[in-house]
């Protein structure tokens, strides 16, 4: 006689994320009902890991074996064969909807691309001297930008011609003034300025005239912010920085040494506020992305004391949320064991 199925749901499969090191990359993608988050980690020994966060509404049914709404997926390892120190990821308009990754191994920069047809592939990297830090972003009309902080403290800003995408042709577009070289710079971040999508295709005159992104440079004594329009603003000393595009400008998240992040919008009225951090210990990685479905919302991932934390900043200190990042998956089809992470 057939046994009726149990009415009680099977428990979620859960696991902490893989052990990681170095920088992390975070972006809101275009998949899912509201745009899932894409998180890229540098493995402690070899390659990169990618996870995604299910941003669908809570009443949405998840795919079997995937994360329910409000949870992180398992991790998939890729780009093995070298040990990485830093990584950035963005959801590109090109492809369409391909993911662009910029990763640093030692002082060498690597470019990778994700597409639905080929998954992750290695692409020709942007030129540049040996780097100590990198950054990447895409402005509203689809122009891809890379920032390279050379080992001697000299920053460069590179603009890509994407008319033959996925092949990119890079040109140096470093402002003549406003980006001073300083051996004390330790981190670099880029963010597209606020704007509307020009709707222009790659290779058009609109792309050539694209607004530069904002550039952030920080060090242990001071920092500097160069706006898309060329204005410079001093920043406090910081070890880590993340920059996101907001409706009223560019919002920065800086960490120096306290149990909080300094949040500020250079050139905008209002002072600095503090976003409390969960956990304890030193912060060793920081990444942030704006949320298209939540005005003024920013999601962040922070590594503190060896643990990864997922934070949501709503702009109000009393409404910020934080949770330790954990992969949680619905039961997979079949009866055999299924690991949470692959690779």
pLDDT at 170 over 80: yes
Count each helix (H run) and each strand (E run) in the chain, helices first. Answer: 1, 26
* Contact present, 310 and 267 (Cβ < 8 Å): no
Give the burial string for 100-121 (b: 16+ CB within 10 Å, else e).
bbbbbbeeebbbbbbeeeeebe
E strand or H helix at 188: strand 185-191
pLDDT for 196: 39
Banded model confidence at residue 195, pLDDT cuts 50, 70, 90: low
pLDDT at 177 over 90: no
What is the chain's mean pLDDT, rounded? 90
Least confident of 33-37, 261-265, 274-278, 337-341: 337-341
Least confident of 1-5, 76-80, 249-253, 279-283: 1-5
The CA distance from 288 to 311, in Å, is 9
In whole angstroms, how far apart are CA 260 and each of 102, 276, 278, 286?
Answer: 27, 4, 8, 12
pLDDT for 206: 38
pLDDT for 2: 39
pLDDT at 47 over 90: yes
pLDDT in tens, 213-266: 999 999 999 999 999 888 999 999 999 999 999 877 899 999 999 999 999 999
Banded model confidence at residue 178, pLDDT cuts 50, 70, 90: confident
pLDDT for 88: 98
The CA distance from 40 to 26, in Å, is 7
Tokens of 204: 């058009």
H helices present in 89-167, as ranges: none
pLDDT in tens, 91-115: 999 999 899 999 999 999 999 999 9
Please report where in the chains the tokens 């299924």 appear, as a residue: 338
pLDDT at 207 over 70: no
Percentage of residues of the chain with pLDDT beyond 90:
78
Q: Span 1-30, mean pLDDT?
A: 78
Q: Span 50-60, mean pLDDT?
A: 97
pLDDT in tens, 69-89: 999 999 999 999 999 999 999
pLDDT for 10: 64
* Contact present, 159 and 181 (Cβ < 8 Å): no
pLDDT in tens, 15-27: 999 999 999 999 9
Tokens of 293: 């479905």
């Amino acid at each position: 006689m057939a046994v009726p199925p149990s009415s009680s749901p099977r428990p979620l499969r859960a696991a902490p994320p893989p052990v990681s090191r170095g920088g992390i990359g975070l972006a809101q993608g275009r998949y899912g009902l509201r745009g899932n988050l894409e998180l890229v980690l540098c493995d402690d020994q070899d390659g990169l890991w990618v996870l995604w966060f299910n941003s669908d509404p809570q009443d949405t049914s998840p795919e079997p074996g995937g994360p329910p709404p409000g949870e992180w997926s398992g991790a998939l390892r890729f780009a093995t064969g070298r040990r990485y120190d830093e990584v950035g990821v963005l959801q590109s308009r090109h492809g369409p909807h391909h993911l662009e990754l910029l990763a640093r191994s030692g002082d060498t920069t690597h470019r990778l691309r994700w597409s639905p047809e080929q998954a992750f592939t290695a692409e020709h990297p942007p030129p540049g001297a040996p780097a100590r830090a990198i950054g990447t972003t895409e402005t509203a009309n689809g122009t891809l930008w890379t920032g390279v902080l050379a080992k001697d403290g000299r920053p460069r800003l590179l603009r890509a011609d994407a008319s033959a995408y996925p092949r990119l042709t890079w040109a140096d577009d470093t402002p003549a003034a406003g980006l001073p070289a300083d051996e004390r710079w330790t981190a670099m971040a880029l963010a597209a300025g606020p704007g509307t999508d020009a709707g222009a295709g790659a290779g058009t005159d609109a792309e050539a005239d694209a607004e530069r992104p904002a550039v952030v440079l920080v060090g242990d004594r001071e920092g500097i912010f160069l706006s898309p329009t060329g204005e410079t603003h001093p920043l406090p000393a910081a070890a880590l920085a993340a920059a996101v595009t907001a409706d009223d400008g560019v919002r920065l998240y800086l960490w120096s040494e306290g149990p909080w992040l300094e949040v500020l919008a250079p050139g905008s009225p209002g002072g600095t506020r503090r976003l409390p951090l969960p956990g304890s210990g030193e912060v060793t990685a920081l990444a942030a992305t704006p949320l298209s479905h939540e005005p003024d919302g920013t999601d962040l991932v922070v590594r503190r004391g060896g643990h990864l934390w997922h934070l949501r900043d709503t702009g109000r200190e009393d409404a910020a949320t934080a949770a330790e990042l954990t992969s949680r998956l619905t039961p997979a089809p079949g009866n055999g064991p299924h690991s949470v992470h692959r690779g």
